[in-house]
Structure 1
């Protein structure tokens, strides 16, 4: 139990969490993680070499510690910018599956959430579970209306334990940051923030229900994409009731053929759906593995489990399209600028980023592009330079690689990169409805109106600053790209402002 006392010495832990901390320390000792803790600046050390690799012992320890640590390991399994391939392969084995619970254990919580016995609330209710995971268990049921549904039930007592785990992980990370400059370099607080958001979202089934409805609204005009309806009369933080989607996993080739479904058409539906999520809607399913997809009659694709979703900012959307376009066109300069943006704030030389972009173009910029391979090489470049990729970018790339793997199994000729390279119009005109364009133009006019009196002075000041002998040239690619882009936008903006202001003056004069 030496590790426990090392942790106690490093942390000031609330009394309510000390029992859980002792459990964590006991598991760490049992799996021989002293050397890992020492590397993170959390004490430990000694203990000699174990027969099993450290990566495997870490994975086993995470499984033994329960759902919060399993989720942490799953997030880390996406971070090939931080961990070497053998660790990624080991952590990818972490599964959320868990033993099923006898329904009588769940019954009190279910009756409290539903306001009555499930056998009375529903026309039919199956006490034998359909599936079980670390956070919840799923049962089939039939509503009084005859609708077929699934009832997702949160495991009792899971929330207090996971909240305690999040507090302890946060304290451990802060201690590690204070003890190790190397740990600080990888910005672990961002990882903890991502973990906390993911865990809290998955614990609250009303959040998952709202996510499902957002996706349903986004795909309202796409009947080929099916989102299960949420039944709010029966849904709460601990119980979720939604439509049962009758279909098969899209990777089951024989089942697709027997159902009369076209693998190629299904792959096209899936590709269009994921590209719309990322490039148009800005909201995407962050875990599109085969278990969360259903191939349905009529060539439709059903999406399940919206506990983990990601958002794409307009800037990130443009960068992703630019990255793919630079890869397809072999533009190492453009790719280098994007990579520099993604490593902004890190201590990485411009020369090394440029060389890395040239290597990526050299290896992947000719012929058919292997998305998983280029993402792996890009993450390896970041790992080599000892920088952490932005968490939102990692989540997007992981979703793209996952769906590419699924759709390639459905249709071996499918190419997601080609689909992405032709999707720049979708990204450019995302949200460009007439009302949105009108609102943006009104906002622009108001801004230009406010700027009218200051514009001549600002132009003179900017010109004087840029032509000054004391002005220093940009020191890195990211700054250079930003300066060049800003210059183009300023020039274009000045021309546009002149035209608009001139038109306003002319219209005003004509009206007098």
Structure 2
């Protein structure tokens, strides 16, 4: 960690200064990064947290992340999904994060294209607009025309953004480790796991070959559906840092709100939004993770276009089933089904109070049992579920939180278009459809065969595993792991107490030695050493030893 701080010293100083600026100086001091501040800031800054107004906490965190740049903006966007661990007020503030960036000049863009595609812009494209059509902290997009005549959108990564992100990720790991050691809440909410999740997500977003594959899968999935438009990927003009797709230009969401075209029906659009999204999530298993107005386009004939698949979620077959069971359990008032489903889809803490958890689920169920679909808001349902899981420190996997956030965004879009429309009313047929699929003889036989195969495989492996276990027991190689969460805390207290006792003994010893030397000098007889400054030498040696012990105690950080 020390090596990282030296290597990224300037960036560390920037981050620490911004933390102090927005009222988080007490964290800087408590985790041991106080020395990275300049002397004037050390003098004038507040390190007690006395200026912390909880009402403005979310806003201050948002402004801080915006000032820290692209990596931290992306971190904020991830945190906005985690209402299972963050207070809603802070998560809501994270959703207002804005990327204020200056577009990269055309000369730099030309250099990137030449390096990635092997030729300058003028040789590859028949036309390439110098003015970008969209600019963000990670990339910007330009309209272009291929030599073969197709209109395309070219998404180009900003120069050196991958190096900037990697440096910031290293620093985030260091900061997260320091906070994890210092604060109980950081361990409770598994902040290190959160940083790991974020690292994987942003590295994936920087790799355009992954986005290209995802877009191609959804393009193939909706190829025969005329109601949904997914842009085609041009692989010959795409690399890890450049993504070239069909340029689709339709009505924007605000066009429908302000002056809806005559060839578009809002209610039909709402229904198709819900159906197309559920098709992605519950049938295809890949869904758009951020269906906000900027990533949607609308066309005559009530067609919908999705763009920008940098943030996507994935649902496996068991995850699809669990999500369906969650909604069914709420609507049918089945607490046991809710308990089983959440246990299956989430990571439960070892010390879970199952009785209290079931009581909370009963209360949650009562809020929605026998309630008509048109009166149920998906945002409220998801918020209530996350509130219960957060209370019991249950960890919800990223893809579920991403799905929840996407559904909340979708509900907001639908409400904005037509107040009478309800997302669950449109989704109800999917519930019946999923139920019919589960009861389909072919599906049931597949499941029975797979379960039978697993049982058969495990029964074959069981004797070997049992023999191996018995051999380990017989040879004494078996390890027993004990998880004692409070042990480290108790050891730290014992260590601190021992250091204080050592300090006291040193003070007492110093006093006794000095007293003996003074008495000896005062009342003792003269000798050959009478002319040697024994008192001064002795005091110097004792003080030197005393300072060595004292320094080692303080360096341990446990005094």
Among 390, 394, 410, the alignment partner of 2:401 is 394
Q: Is the 8 A contact 2:83 2:91 kept in 1?
A: yes
Say if 2:183 is the partner of 1:192.
no
Give the alignment of 1:63-462 within 5 angstroms: 63-253=66-256, 257-258=260-261, 260-341=263-344, 342=346, 344-345=348-349, 347-365=351-369, 366-367=371-372, 368-424=375-431, 426-427=433-434
Q: 1:46 aligns with which of 33, 45, 48?
A: 48
Superposed CA deviations along residues 279-331 of structure 1, whole A, max 9, x for unmatched, are 11211111111111111233211110111111112222222111111222222
CA 1:255/1:149 → structure 2, altered by over 3 Å: closer, same or farther? farther
Could you say what secondary structure the match of 1:326 adopts? helix
Specify whether residues 382 and 346 from structure 1 end up closer, same or farther in structure 2 by C-alpha distance, changes over 3 A only. farther
Per-residue CA shift, 1:437-465, capped at 9, x if unaligned?
Answer: 9987876676677789999xxxxxxxxxx
Is the Cα contact below 8 Å between 1:261 and 1:299 reproduced in 2? yes
RMSD: 3.1
- Equivalent pairs counted in the alignment come to 445
For the structure 1 residues 229 and 453, does the alpha-carbon distance in structure 2 shift closer, same or farther, using more than 3 Å as the test?
A: closer
Cα separation, partners in 2 of 1:434 and 1:165, compared to 1, 3 Å = farther
Distance 1:336 1:431 in 2: 20
Consecutive unaligned residues of structure 2, counting only runs of 5 or more, are 35-46, 463-559
Q: Report the CA distance shift for 1:283/1:396 in structure 2 as closer, same or farther (over 3 A).
A: same
Higher relative contact order (CA closer than 8 Å, sequence separation 6+): 1
Give, in whole Å, the separation in 1 of the partners of 2:304 and 2:186: 42
TM-score by length of 2: 0.72
Tell me by how many angstroms 1:24 deviates: 1.4
Whole-angstrom distance in 2 between the partners of 1:59 and 1:31: 10
Q: How much does 1:81 deviate?
A: 2.1
TM-score relative to the length of structure 1: 0.78
- Quick check: which has more Rg, 1 or 2? 2
How big is each residue's C-alpha offset from its partner over 1:60-112, in whole Å with a ceiling of 9 and x where there is no partner? Answer: 11111111100111111122222223212222211245232322232211222
Summarize deviations over 1:322-375 as a string: whole Å, max 9, x none.
Answer: 111122222233223334443523533122212221222222332321111122
1:31 counterpart = 2:18: no
Unaligned runs of 5+ in 1: 1-9, 456-512
Give the Å deviation of 1:251. 5.0
Match of 2:8 in 1: 17
- Any conservation in 1 of the 2:4–2:170 contact (CA below 8 Å)? no
1:206, 1:237 within 8 Å by CA — same for their partners in 2? Answer: yes
| 8 A contact 2:348–2:394 mirrored in 1 | no
Between structures 1 and 2, the one with greater helix share: 2
Structure 2 CA distance, aligned partners of 1:235 and 1:433? 42
Give the deviation of 1:133 after TM superposition.
0.6
Q: Is the 8 A contact 1:219 1:225 kept in 2?
A: yes
Deviations, residues 180-239 of structure 1 (Å, cap 9, x unaligned): 332111112331122112211221222211110011122223221111011111111121
CA distance in 2, matches of 1:84, 1:184: 17
**1:427 Cα shift?**
3.9
